[in-house]
Structure 1
Amino acid sequence: MTPPSAPLTLELIALPKEVPLLRRTVHDYLGGPCADVQLCVSEIVGNVIRHVGEGTPVVVRVSRRAGGRTRVEVTDSDARALPVLLRARGDDEYGRGLALLDAVSLRWGVRREEGRKTVWCDLGGA
């Protein structure tokens, strides 16, 4: 499978109904199974919906990196609402999203710039 040459860049409004379409678009862009990438995109956009607010404009970028790695980046307009890795207990309803991201990605982080933030993660690779 030849990696795409240009990154996938999507500008959208963070709404729950957009997440399934976003997962399908990522699958089509990568041209095959990509459950971990889809999970990370869903979790990061889900965090924007829950912690910044439904209807927040976001930019989602997915790109291939050296060594077959994939980078996911989600940028939103609130540099103050930073993600925090929690250790959810068995009966907690929330708090597992970043733990999943942490478990499936090679590394992840947050970049703040000019009133925005970008949550990113690197996945996979040879």
Structure 2
Amino acid sequence: MECGGCTPRQPWDLSFSAKPAEVAALRRVLRIHLGLWGLAELTETAQLCLSELVSNVITHVGPGTPTTLAVSISGTNLRIEVHDPDTRALPRLTDSTVDAEAGRGMALVAAMSERWGVQLLPDRKITWVELASGLTERNGHSEDVRVSRATSCLHLYNTGLPNHLQGSSRLSAIAAEEVAIDVIADLLHWLRAHGHDADDALDRAQMQFEADTRRLAR
């Protein structure tokens, strides 16, 4: 089931000079984007993979190398790519000992990711890694029973929308918000009609929502 009210996850890229001082800024940019995409739970792993890929360029291609970070959704995986102009220095896994100082970066990436690889093009190489996101669809939500139930409810309400607000298979973002408000209002009417305190129920729902949000943000 698609979710038209979800944040569109459009691919983006950022050019930078491969220097140790740039890594912290790149990690911050990635964290912000993952938050906007509703994938904050991937931040730590994604940042570690990004740091390793950029460090690999700095170490094996050279400090100051013109490099590009590209981030997208591949299927339902988060895909992180680092592009650099050297097609000879290829990252690879090594059988490093525990005490080895080098060769462990890509092993760490491989252990944390769904898959990784290197693509060679005439003018550059692309080292990429994909992380499982928990998404059920590209622009959907991560699997959450509350969100899934709400999405089903919104689609049921969608049948009563005017034709110009109904999408072929999804709600538009604006229509989804209006329908969600109608659902909440109808539930409050139902509670009052059955002798319950609608205001108290709304306050309790808000408290539960805030508690769940804090828990998920940890």
TM-score in terms of structure 2 length: 0.54
Task: Provide Cα deviations, 1:62-113, integer angstroms capped at 9, x if missing partner.
Answer: 112333x100111100001111111211221111100011001111110000
- AA paired with 1:52? V
Residues 4 and 29 of structure 1 are in contact (CA less than 8 Å); yes or no, is this contact kept in structure 2?
A: no
Which residue does 2:96 correspond to in 1? Answer: 88
Whose helix fraction is larger, Structure 1's or Structure 2's? 2
**Greater Cα radius of gyration, structure 1 or 2:** 2
In the alignment, does 2:8 pair up with 1:8?
no
Give me the whole-angstrom Cα distance separating, in 2, the residues matched to 1:116 and 1:70. Answer: 22
- AA paired with 1:85? L
Q: 2:80 aligns with which of 65, 72, 77?
A: 72
Whose strand fraction is larger, Structure 1's or Structure 2's? 1
How many residue pairs end up in the alignment?
A: 124
Q: 2:52 aligns with which of 35, 43, 51?
A: 43
Which residue does 2:66 correspond to in 1? Answer: 57
Which residue does 1:123 correspond to in 2? Answer: 131
Give unpaired runs (5+ residues) of structure 1: none
Q: What is the alpha-carbon root mean square deviation over aligned residues?
A: 1.3
Give me the whole-angstrom Cα distance separating, in 1, the residues matched to 2:24 and 2:125. Answer: 23
Residues 4 and 30 of structure 1 are in contact (CA less than 8 Å); yes or no, is this contact kept in structure 2?
A: no
Could you say which structure has the greater relative contact order, defined with CA pairs below 8 angstroms and 6 or more residues apart?
1
TM-score in terms of structure 1 length: 0.92
- Determine what percentage of the aligned residue pairs are the same residue: 45
